[in-house]
Amino acid sequence: MTPARNAAPPHQPGASGEVRMSFNALDLIPELTRAVADQGYLEPTPIQVKGIPPILQRRDVMGCAQTGTGKTAGFALPLLQLLAPQANTSLSPARHPLRVLVLTPTRELAAQVEESFRTYAKYLPLRSAVVFGGVDIGPQMKQLHSGVEILVATPGRLLDHLHQKTLNLSRVEFLVLDEADRMLDMGFIPDIKRILAVLPPKRQNMLFSATFPEEVRRLAKDLLHSPVTIEVAPRNAPADLVTHLVYPVPLLRKRALLVHLIRSRGMRQVLVFVRMKRDANRLARQLQHDGVVAKEIHSDRTQAERMQALEDFKQGKVPVLVATDIAARGLDIEELPFVINYELPHTPEDYVHRIGRTGRAGLPGEAISLVSPDEMKFLEDVERMLKRKLPRASAPESLSESRHGPRAREPRAERGARHAHAPRPQHVPKPSPSGFDFTKPYEPAAAGAASHPPAAPVAHRRPHRPTAALLGGGPAKREPHK
């Protein structure tokens, strides 16, 4: 059981003046409130407070919420409640028609969403399945054949099943498009339109997205009928619990700085972002070479390899996971304290998605960006979107000096006041234990007491090399380059 994370008495006014709620006030059936209590949830998150009632009232919903806000339960709980009257233990597939279809952009997110459905449906005789590509289609066919009420799928594999006629969508009543903006980025919109064309026209639709670029708005307009719009974080704003830190650093010193930060901060779990798959491979290999245990996760790796890498990371066996944007989408890693942007993304929305991996479920997190001079433009884009300048920290002297170019240091006035070798988060807002601000992303009252696990040294493959050698001296050919 997950420990209770947002213990607070129900029905108290929150910091924003809104009324706090307990799950009981949402009129959920006992089978669901029991399952939720088993998870240690004591009160609904803002997206759940706002999303559950309209979904129960059969309204279409457009949700502007990041992963990490509790949005999965926000749609899974009311959908399970709507399915419950027809839940049954019959062995006949005909008694388990497919009624809920959830589309997600990535396999990992699909697996996590389906697991959530199973968790919340533990006291109900309802069946769910997940289908995604990269794995044998046979077992999926068998499972679908036996009848499931809830299917979570990635669009490509769903179309495979439709072509093979192993799936009947004619009884679908509820459609959820999760992370619609990412579906768009990944080029899934044509696939989604193909799927929409074979769904029964009369159904309830829910669309969730962290950002709302124009094309997602158009999709929402076509898909949703008089939707209730739910927004729990300011549009395009990252979770408030995340502290940002920027290290201006020459390209050729990035890797040494990364290793230095991992070691000096005692990072035991850090997700490191690069843009390209090949750079993820290379960086993970180079880190291993530097004595830092690391694995990569990206879409060229088999599903089994991705799942294994994620599992090893979650269990703390591998402290560093190097990821591309697409692979990391939807990863739910509880209490992930650090995200490092080894390279900045080319679109500021991706920055929001990346840092959305940390600062989740009310726990503080830190997003550190290593920014080379050629990436300053992307940093400006991010800052423009966030409407603020992100705090700078300076790398240790030996790292700031590139043998290949001029000193890449920001003006003295911009440097952080903290010690360069061990920067501390500039600002980690603590939620008030007596108030709850419903305008903010999920930020449980108990979070102030939570802390990251104590720092521990990163596992080394070989004896620790002197810091000076790490920071100053490596041969140029070992440095990352694009």
What is the contact surface with ligand AMP in residues (CB under 6 A)?
Answer: 5-6, 41, 44-45, 48, 67-73, 332, 334, 360-361
Structure tokens at 268: 């035991």
**Distance between CA 46 and CA 332 in Å, rounded?**
18
**What is the SS3 assignment for 365-410?**
EEEEEEECHHHHHHHHHHHHHHCCCCCECCCCHHHHCCCCCCCCCC
Closest to ligand AMP by CB, 121 vs 344, is: 121
Closest to ligand AMP by CB, 336 vs 371, is: 336
Structure tokens at 4: 């209770």
SS3 content of the chain, % helix, strand, coil (to 5): 40, 15, 50
User: CB of 318: closest distance to ligand AMP in angstroms?
Assistant: 20
First to last CA, the chain: 44
**Distance between CA 203 and CA 205 in Å, rounded?**
6
Q: Are 172 and 98 in contact (CB under 8 A)?
A: yes
Residue 63 three-state SS: strand
Closest to ligand AMP by CB, 333 vs 459, is: 333
**Distance between CA 109 and CA 67 in Å, rounded?**
10
Closest to ligand AMP by CB, 2 vs 302, is: 2
**Distance between CA 66 and CA 70 in Å, rounded?**
9
Q: At what angle do helices 137-145 and 155-163 cross, to 10 degrees?
A: 70
User: CB of 294: closest distance to ligand AMP in angstroms?
Assistant: 24
User: CB of 482: closest distance to ligand AMP in angstroms?
Assistant: 33
C-beta neighbour count of 19 within 10 angstroms? 13
Closest to ligand AMP by CB, 67 vs 341, is: 67
User: CB of 334: closest distance to ligand AMP in angstroms?
Assistant: 6
Q: Are 45 and 33 in contact (CB under 8 A)?
A: no
Closest to ligand AMP by CB, 44 vs 480, is: 44
User: CB of 154: closest distance to ligand AMP in angstroms?
Assistant: 17
Instruction: List the Cα angle 46/51/56 in 5-degree steps.
Output: 140
User: CB of 23: closest distance to ligand AMP in angstroms?
Assistant: 8
Q: Are 98 and 173 in contact (CB under 8 A)?
A: no
User: CB of 444: closest distance to ligand AMP in angstroms?
Assistant: 6
Closest to ligand AMP by CB, 196 vs 446, is: 446
Residue type at position 451: S
Closest to ligand AMP by CB, 298 vs 360, is: 360
User: CB of 162: closest distance to ligand AMP in angstroms?
Assistant: 27
Residue type at position 267: M
Residue type at position 293: V
C-beta neighbour count of 226 within 10 angstroms? 6
User: CB of 221: closest distance to ligand AMP in angstroms?
Assistant: 25
Closest to ligand AMP by CB, 70 vs 364, is: 70
User: CB of 64: closest distance to ligand AMP in angstroms?
Assistant: 13
Structure tokens at 302: 């088999």
What sign does the dihedral 237-239-242-243 (CA atoms) show? positive
Closest to ligand AMP by CB, 12 vs 288, is: 12
Structure tokens at 203: 């159904």
